[in-house]
């Protein structure tokens, strides 16, 4: 059997000291160093206490010790541990390879080996991960979470005799006792603790003074336990003075939740045990929160609450902690196709339509997940765009979540538990190339408990309730697990009834009459839910004259005939302007107070028809739209008898944040942003950007506003054209 350290506890925590000692040495070829561990502070299971002090023992497990020579990542090995018969001492040996010559030799041992992700000789620190998932017994915290370390004496040459080590605690300990729990026959499976202050995750632990500094920390720990009488956990030694602790107790019948605020002067120190009694009087079991494995894309709807989970047997979910370039991983427990009551460490995501129609964005509490490229990155930003838009495919080969930012390869969301060169294991979610060895993921969707009946019934109709005179296909989303029926006063529904969630399609023909048509869709149920009926009304505009031919230019602008530093409002008054308005109409330009003006620098001089070294005179001018919300508004653009149009414009940037096109005209909808980029013949990046524009109201003219919300860069605009599609 492999041997491993099991350490016991005493409340005192001694200061770290080290003195230099010279010993006789073996020849330079020696690579095996033996160690002797014995100290009252060393343990991983708590024995029966004598007063407030817990005895310490070494016992048999498969957990290994880690040993680093001179805090070098390359000279770091793992070792099995052999305890003495009475458990009061233990020995282990380290087989070092390719040892480098040094002026002195100091050994740092740490347990468990797996929790130390890296070492730093310069800062004298260990990068420690205090586990977010633990298992408690009635008398001890999880062995894998009880982190101890020891620093040897410093030797001038490699020692030949056993090196004595005295271990100290890096972890602090919490002993929980829950009273007055009204379980009513429910079976406890876990206690989840979420703190307003970080308590787990990765920290830099200073060996000199036993202080810690945040790295990639977490605020939630999940403790597997079948009893509430004595629940133990090991945490980072953090200051919890005035902190809020939320306890969520998982049972087979639901959860019990209690939130408390700790008083001042509540600090967790290395090696200390804090006992906390939590009174659950008056708290009832709440029905469980259930997530179900998504096996078909047809099961996904905008507005769903989902979690991203590692595929297969791995039990990890995308976490609530956003690191600089990736997301944390949180522990979950899969029960066939279901996940019950995931902890607050798991990131619940709201599924929304992405910046590209028909695709998806994942909304967190602080913004949208996105794949920026340039590395294996997964970050969060405030607004969604192409980088924050994902295509989802689910088939026999599995689930793929692919970012849509053009020109990059690291776009597939995956779970990374690969090993690092120093022996540590990653535990994170990010975006990778399709050839990556990182693990695939699946989606779980918040669902009803399959044992319950008639839990909910909802329906929604996304998009505008006003339609143009043309033919339309409208989707009605129905959510529920009860029998329902659907009717319409006009058009054709593809389904008249069902008993599960479904997307209904309403087909509406073109309106060729001179009067508007109203359609009413009603979805209802006789089940014992409330409300029982949902009704949605659509108004289709009348056909009011002959449509303009496709390709008709409603308005265009290329800024020639202007002068450098002209504002748009000044430029429009010039006789030599090249502004085009359909049917010789008139448009008006306005702009924000500063930083919006014409530039004569060819910056958006573009495309393959301009070749050679001479810049054509008619491509000289462009409009500078200042960073940090510089705006330009055009009013009076004709749109009578137009159902759909398209705007295109050239720019030196190809992301929507540099233009943010919008309108205030009722019945006019700006479609999704698309872009094509290439390099002009004078080595400038140029983008042709576009939106479709839909007209469903009765307005004969409309307005457009460009707004540069980027806080770092100005943008240039040129060759702007609005033309009819239908």
Residue 389 lies in a domain: yes
The C-alpha atoms of residue 76 and residue 107 are separated, in whole angstroms, by 10
Q: Is omega for the bond preceding 531 within 30 degrees of 0, making it cis?
A: yes
**The tokens of 53 are what?**
């002090």
Residues 495 and 616 in one domain: no
Residue 492 lies in a domain: yes
pLDDT in tens, 315-367: 899 999 999 999 999 988 888 888 888 888 899 999 988 888 778 999 999 99
Residue 285 lies in a domain: no
Residues 103 and 196 in one domain: yes
Residues 412 and 431 in one domain: yes
Q: Residue range 416-441: average pLDDT? A: 86
Decide which of 249, 279, 309 is a domain's last residue: 279
pLDDT at position 81 is 83
pLDDT at position 249 is 92
Residues 229 and 361 in one domain: no
In sequence order, the β-bridge partners of residue 105 are: 155
Residues 577 and 530 in one domain: no
Decide which of 405, 427, 447 is a domain's last residue: 447
Residues 441 and 462 in one domain: no
pLDDT in tens, 50-72: 444 444 556 677 788 889 888 88
Residues 268 and 301 in one domain: no
Q: What is the CATH number of the domain that holds 386?
A: 2.80.10.50
Q: Residue range 180-198: average pLDDT? A: 91
Residue 10 lies in a domain: no
pLDDT in tens, 387-399: 999 999 998 878 9
pLDDT at position 598 is 87
Give the DSSP letter string of 242-256.
T-EEEEEEEETTEEE
Residue 81 lies in a domain: yes
Residues 534 and 564 in one domain: no
Q: By three-state DSSP, how is residue 79 classified?
A: strand
pLDDT at position 622 is 85
Residue 205 lies in a domain: yes
**CB neighbours of 663 closer than 8 A, spacing ≥ 6?**
670, 693, 702, 703, 704, 705
Q: Residue range 192-204: average pLDDT? A: 91
Residues 577 and 693 in one domain: yes
Residue 4 lies in a domain: no
Residues 135 and 208 in one domain: yes
pLDDT at position 255 is 86
**The tokens of 499 are what?**
């008993």
Q: What is the CATH number of the domain that holds 612?
A: 2.60.120
| Least confident piece of the model among 37-46, 374-383, 626-635 | 37-46
Residues 557 and 533 in one domain: no
Decide which of 421, 447, 473 is a domain's last residue: 447
Residue 12 lies in a domain: no
User: Which residue range(s) make up the domain with 357?
Assistant: 290-447
| pLDDT, greater one: 461 or 161 | 161
Q: Report the number of distinct structural domains present in the chain.
A: 4
Query: Could you tell me the pTM of the whole model?
Result: 0.51
pLDDT at position 678 is 64
Q: What is the CATH number of the domain that holds 500?
A: 2.60.40.10
**The tokens of 610 are what?**
């301009």
- Asked if pLDDT for residue 617 goes beyond 80, the answer is no
Residues 228 and 294 in one domain: no
Taking the CA atoms of 594, 599, 602 and 608 in sequence, report the sign of the dihedral they define: positive
Q: By three-state DSSP, how is residue 150 classified?
A: strand
| pLDDT, greater one: 534 or 673 | 673
- Asked if pLDDT for residue 611 goes beyond 70, the answer is no
pLDDT in tens, 86-115: 777 788 888 887 777 788 989 999 999 888
Give the DSSP letter string of 583-651.
GG---EEEE-SSSEEEEES-TT--STTS-SSPPPGGG-EEEEE-TTTEEEEEEEEE-TT-SEEEEEEEE
């Amino acid at each position: 059997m492999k041997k491993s350290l099991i350490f016991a506890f005493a409340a005192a925590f001694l200061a770290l000291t080290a003195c230099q000692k010279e010993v006789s040495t073996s020849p330079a070829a020696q690579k095996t160093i033996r160690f002797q561990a014995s100290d009252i502070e060393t343990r991983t299971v708590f024995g029966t206490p004598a007063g407030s002090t817990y005895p310490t023992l070494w016992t048999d497990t498969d957990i290994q010790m880690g040993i680093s020579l001179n805090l070098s990542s390359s000279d770091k090995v793992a070792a099995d541990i052999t305890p003495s018969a009475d458990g009061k001492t233990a020995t282990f040996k380290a087989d070092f390879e390719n040892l480098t010559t040094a002026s002195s030799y100091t050994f740092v041992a740490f347990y468990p080996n797996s929790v130390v992700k890296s070492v730093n000789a310069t800062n004298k620190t260990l990068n420690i991960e205090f586990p977010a998932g633990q298992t408690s017994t009635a008398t001890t915290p999880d062995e894998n979470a009880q982190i101890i370390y020891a620093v040897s004496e410093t030797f001038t040459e490699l020692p030949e005799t056993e090196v004595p080590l005295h271990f100290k605690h890096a972890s602090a300990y919490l002993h929980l006792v829950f009273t007055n729990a009204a379980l009513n026959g429910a079976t406890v499976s876990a206690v989840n603790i979420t703190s307003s202050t970080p308590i787990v995750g990765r920290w830099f632990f200073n060996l000199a003074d036993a202080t810690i500094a945040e790295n990639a920390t977490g605020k939630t720990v999940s403790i597997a336990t079948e009893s509430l009488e004595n629940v133990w956990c090991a945490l980072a030694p953090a200051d919890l003075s005035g902190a809020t602790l939320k306890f969520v107790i998982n049972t087979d019948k639901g959860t019990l939740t209690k939130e408390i605020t700790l008083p001042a002067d509540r600090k967790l120190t290395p090696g200390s045990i804090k006992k906390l009694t939590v009174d659950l009087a008056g708290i009832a079991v709440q029905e469980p929160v259930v997530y179900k494995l998504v096996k078909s894309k047809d099961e996904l709807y905008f507005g769903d609450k989902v979690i991203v989970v590692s595929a297969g047997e791995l039990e990890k979910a995308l976490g609530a902690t956003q690191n600089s370039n990736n997301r944390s991983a949180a522990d979950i427990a899969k029960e066939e196709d279901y996940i019950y009551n995931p902890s607050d460490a798991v990131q619940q995501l709201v599924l929304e339509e992405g910046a590209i129609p028909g695709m998806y964005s994942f909304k967190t509490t602080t913004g949208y997940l996105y794949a920026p490229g340039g590395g294996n990155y997964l970050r969060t930003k405030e607004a969604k765009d192409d980088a924050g838009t994902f295509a989802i495919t689910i088939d026999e080969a599995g689930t793929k979540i692919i970012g849509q930012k053009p020109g990059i390869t690291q776009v597939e969301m995956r779970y990374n538990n690969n090993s690092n060169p120093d022996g540590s294991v990653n535990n994170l979610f990010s975006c990778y190339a399709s050839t990556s060895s990182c693990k695939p993921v699946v989606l779980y969707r918040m669902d009803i408990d399959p044992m319950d009946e008639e839990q909910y019934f909802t329906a929604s109709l996304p998009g505008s309730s006003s339609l143009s005179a043309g033919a339309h296909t409208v989707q009605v989303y129905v959510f529920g697990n009860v029998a329902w029926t659907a009717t319409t006063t006009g058009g054709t529904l593809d389904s008249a009834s069902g008993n599960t969630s479904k997307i209904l399609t309403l087909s509406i023909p073109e309106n060729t009459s001179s009067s508007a048509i109203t359609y009413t869709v009603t979805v209802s149920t006789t089940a014992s839910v409330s409300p029982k009926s949902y009704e949605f009304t659509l108004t289709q505009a009348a056909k009011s004259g002959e449509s303009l031919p496709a390709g008709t230019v409603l308005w265009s602008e290329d800024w020639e005939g202007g002068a450098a530093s002209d504002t748009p409002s000044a430029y429009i008054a010039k006789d030599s302007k090249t502004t085009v308005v359909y049917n010789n109409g008139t448009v008006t330009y306005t702009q924000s107070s500063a930083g919006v003006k014409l530039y004569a620098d060819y910056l958006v001089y573009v495309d393959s028809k301009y070749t050679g070294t001479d810049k054509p005179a008619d491509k000289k001018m462009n409009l500078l739209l200042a960073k940090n919300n510089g705006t330009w508004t055009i009013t009076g653009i004709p749109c009578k008898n137009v159902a759909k149009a398209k705007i295109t414009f050239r720019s030196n940037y190809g992301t929507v944040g540099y233009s943010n096109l919008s309108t205030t005209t009722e019945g006019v909808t700006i479609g999704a942003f698309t872009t094509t980029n290439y390099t002009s013949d004078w080595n400038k990046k140029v983008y042709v950007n576009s939106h479709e524009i839909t007209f469903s109201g009765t307005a004969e003219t409309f307005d457009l506003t460009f707004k540069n919300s980027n806080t770092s860069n100005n943008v240039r605009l040129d060759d702007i054209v609005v033309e009819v599609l239908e």
